[in-house]
């Protein structure tokens, strides 16, 4: 079967390499602080809550990030644990988040047939051409294609039920607030 669209192999696998490195640096900072009582290389103690937040975000990234190949009948999800097929009829929603300039993240929420639970994954789509991104707020062809296939497989799919395109940015902003407050308390 022909692959119509796919994830960016470079960005996806780069995240699988960078995320453990970042997590390791944060863990080293915690270890050094708690064993010596000092911060690493004069990093102030009020950075510790931010390092906790970064660690949590990195762990979520590792857990949810997937490499996909979009074909006509379904989506092939590849992860470290293996491959699985995702039918378009099982997708609850797709969303193209904008997380900075020209950095797109697809979020796909689907129902896992084996467990009956809803799961979500993150995907870094491959950028095929500069012409595909008309504006910063425009949708990529991969997003449009998957949505069309979902609607074909599930005519009751409602685009209005998709979360805001800014929900990931809002989540990151709102999740960092308690950690920033904790940092200010440690000053």
Structure tokens at 128: 């095929």
Q: Which CATH class is domain 5-186?
A: mainly beta
Averaged pLDDT score across all residues of the chain: 84
Sorted by where each begins, the domain ranges of the chain are 5-186
Least confident of 7-21, 70-84, 130-144, 145-159: 130-144
Percent of the chain with pLDDT over 70: 87
Tens of pLDDT, residue by residue over 25-49, are 888 878 877 787 665 565 677 777 8
- Say if residue 88's pLDDT is above 60: yes
pLDDT tens digits, 172-186? 889 899 888 888 887
The full DSSP string for 26-70 is HHHHHHHHHHHSS-GGG--GGGHHHHHHHHHHHHHHHHHB-EEEE
Q: How far apart are CA 97 and CA 99, in angstroms?
A: 6
What's the mean pLDDT in 117-126?
Answer: 92
What residue has token string 């960078």?
18
Whether pTM > 0.75 for this model: the answer is yes
Q: Does residue 103 have a pLDDT over 80?
A: no
Spatial separation of the C-alpha atoms in residues 85 and 13, rounded to whole Å: 20
């Amino acid at each position: 079967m022909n692959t119509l669209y796919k994830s960016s192999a470079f960005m996806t696998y780069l995240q699988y390499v960078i995320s453990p490195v970042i997590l390791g640096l944060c863990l080293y900072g915690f270890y050094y602080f708690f064993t010596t009582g000092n911060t690493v290389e004069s990093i102030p103690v009020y950075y510790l809550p931010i390092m906790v937040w970064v660690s949590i975000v990195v762990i979520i990234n590792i857990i949810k990030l997937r490499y996909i190949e979009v074909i006509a009948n379904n989506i092939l999800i590849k992860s470290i644990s293996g491959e699985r097929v995702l039918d378009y009829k099982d997708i609850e929603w797709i969303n193209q988040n904008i997380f900075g300039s020209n950095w797109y993240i697809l979020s796909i929420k689907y129902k896992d047939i084996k467990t009956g639970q809803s799961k979500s994954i993150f995907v870094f789509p491959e950028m095929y051409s500069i012409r595909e991104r008309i504006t910063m707020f425009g949708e990529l062809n991969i997003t449009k294609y998957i949505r069309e296939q979902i609607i074909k497989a599930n005519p009751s799919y409602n685009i209005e039920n998709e979360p805001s395109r800014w929900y990931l940015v809002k989540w990151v902003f709102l999740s960092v607030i308690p950690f920033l407050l904790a940092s200010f308390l440690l000053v």
